[in-house]
């Protein structure tokens, strides 16, 4: 018996309604707030309508564009490194697991532990590790005769510090996604490739990775979006300093809203961040089209 045409709506409808309430309402509220000049602690009735003035001021603010550039560099470096390391670790353990060596379950568990730690705890942990006087990293550098570094006091080192912390925390996410994708590859395909004389490099780059490319692109997209939303670790580590060298756009929005008490400007910058993330997500989906590949598979 054929299901009625409205049956899919019955299943998808509740989830779509919840997503609309949880996602669309905050976005529309932020857009509305961007048209007003309003500060925390004052009645909404006292909010002043300013139209597009706030959006125009935000687009002319050099601090906003510096934060956006910092965010783009941070996201590119972190996501690129996480994808390479995560895929490499998954391939390494997948190969070892294929030989049935002992201890692979332990290493898999060990690799995903950073992802399970709260971001605040991650920030505090790395802040202590990067401490100029008592940090473990400077202690290790001293062992090999290198003078202590002011990790969080130098602009370049501070940026490297937040990159290292993010890579450490989120490479396990890529690893988990890839190890699951590789485990679902049909063994008959790999066996056929080996029988045809394919070596490890050919099997990896011409068989395995192309077969899980849709998973790679979805993972890349998810990490790209998350990299634009990161806040807690950088808040704890550097609070955007020294200067504004590590002030990503999400942190700039926080400072504008809760330090500068400019809710309208913060909402306008949030809309800008939403547009940037939406454009990057659209570009990634257009280049890979992972969902279409999944449907045709």
Are 173 and 223 in contact by the 8 Å Cβ rule? The answer is yes
| Per-residue model confidence (pLDDT) at position 167 | 95
- Sheet strands (E) in the chain: 36-37, 48-49
Q: pLDDT by residue (tens digit) across 247-256?
A: 999 999 999 9
Question: What Cα–Cα distance (Å) separates residue 251 from each residue in 131, 136, 215, 220?
Answer: 22, 27, 30, 22
| Per-residue model confidence (pLDDT) at position 288 | 64
Instruction: Work out the average pLDDT over 20-45.
Output: 83
Spatial CB neighbours of 157, under 8 Å, sequence gap ≥ 6: 149, 150, 151
Which residue ranges make up each domain of the chain?
A: 27-296
Instruction: Work out the average pLDDT over 1-21.
Output: 78
Q: pLDDT by residue (tens digit) across 35-90?
A: 988 877 778 888 888 888 989 999 999 999 999 999 999 999 999 999 999 999 88
If pLDDT is split at 50, 70 and 90, which confidence band does 198 have? confident
pLDDT at 97 over 50: no
| Per-residue model confidence (pLDDT) at position 104 | 66
What pTM does this model have?
A: 0.86
pLDDT at 245 over 90: yes
Are 254 and 231 in contact by the 8 Å Cβ rule? The answer is yes
Collapsing DSSP states into helix, strand and coil, what is residue 48?
strand
Are 186 and 97 in contact by the 8 Å Cβ rule? The answer is no
Tell me what percent of the residues of the chain surpass a pLDDT of 90.
37
How many residues would you count in the chain? 297
User: Beta partners for 36?
Assistant: 49
Spatial CB neighbours of 107, under 8 Å, sequence gap ≥ 6: 93
- φ/ψ of 121, rounded to 5, equals -65, -40
Give the residue ranges of DSSP H helices in 230-262. Answer: 232-237, 249-254
- φ/ψ of 247, rounded to 5, equals -85, 95
Q: C-alpha angle with apex 205: 94 to 216, nearest 5 degrees? A: 70
Spatial CB neighbours of 212, under 8 Å, sequence gap ≥ 6: 178, 181, 182, 185
Q: Which CATH number fits domain 27-296: 1.25.40.10, 1.10.287.110, 1.10.760.10, 1.10.3720.10?
A: 1.10.3720.10
User: Beta partners for 49?
Assistant: 36
| Per-residue model confidence (pLDDT) at position 130 | 94
pLDDT at 132 over 90: no
Lowest mean pLDDT among 38-47, 181-190, 193-202, 275-284: 38-47
| Per-residue model confidence (pLDDT) at position 31 | 87
Are 93 and 102 in contact by the 8 Å Cβ rule? The answer is no
How far is Cα 172 from Cα 202, in angstroms, rounded to an integer?
Answer: 25
């Amino acid at each position: 018996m054929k299901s009625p045409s409205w049956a899919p709506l019955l299943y998808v409808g509740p989830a779509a309604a919840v997503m609309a309430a949880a996602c669309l309402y905050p976005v529309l509220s932020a857009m509305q707030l961007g048209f007003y000049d309003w500060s925390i602690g004052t009645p909404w009735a006292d909010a002043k309508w300013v139209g597009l003035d706030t959006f125009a001021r935000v687009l002319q603010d050099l601090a906003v564009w510096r934060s956006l550039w910092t965010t783009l560099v941070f996201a590119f470096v972190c996501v690129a490194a996480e994808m390479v390391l995560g895929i490499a670790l998954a391939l390494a353990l997948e190969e070892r697991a294929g030989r049935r060596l002992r201890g692979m379950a332990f290493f898999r568990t060990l690799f995903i532990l950073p992802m399970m730690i709260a971001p605040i705890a991650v920030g505090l942990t790395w802040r202590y590790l990067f401490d100029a006087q008592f940090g473990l990293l400077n202690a290790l550098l001293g062992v090999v005769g290198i003078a202590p570094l002011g990790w969080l006091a130098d602009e370049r080192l501070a940026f490297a510090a937040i990159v290292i912390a993010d890579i450490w925390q989120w490479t396990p996410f890529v690893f988990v996604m890839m190890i699951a994708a590789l485990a679902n590859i049909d063994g008959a395909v790999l066996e056929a490739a080996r029988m045809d004389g394919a070596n490890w490099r050919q099997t990896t780059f011409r068989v395995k990775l192309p077969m899980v490319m849709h998973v790679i692109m979805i993972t890349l997209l998810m990490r790209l979006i998350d990299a634009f939303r990161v806040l807690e670790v950088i808040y704890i580590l550097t609070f955007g300093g020294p200067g504004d060298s590590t002030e990503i756009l999400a942190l700039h929005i926080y400072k504008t809203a809760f330090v500068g008490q400019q809710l309208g400007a913060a909402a306008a910058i949030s809309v800008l961040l939403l547009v940037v993330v939406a454009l990057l997500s659209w570009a990634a989906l257009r280049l890979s089209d992972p969902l279409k590949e999944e449907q045709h598979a």
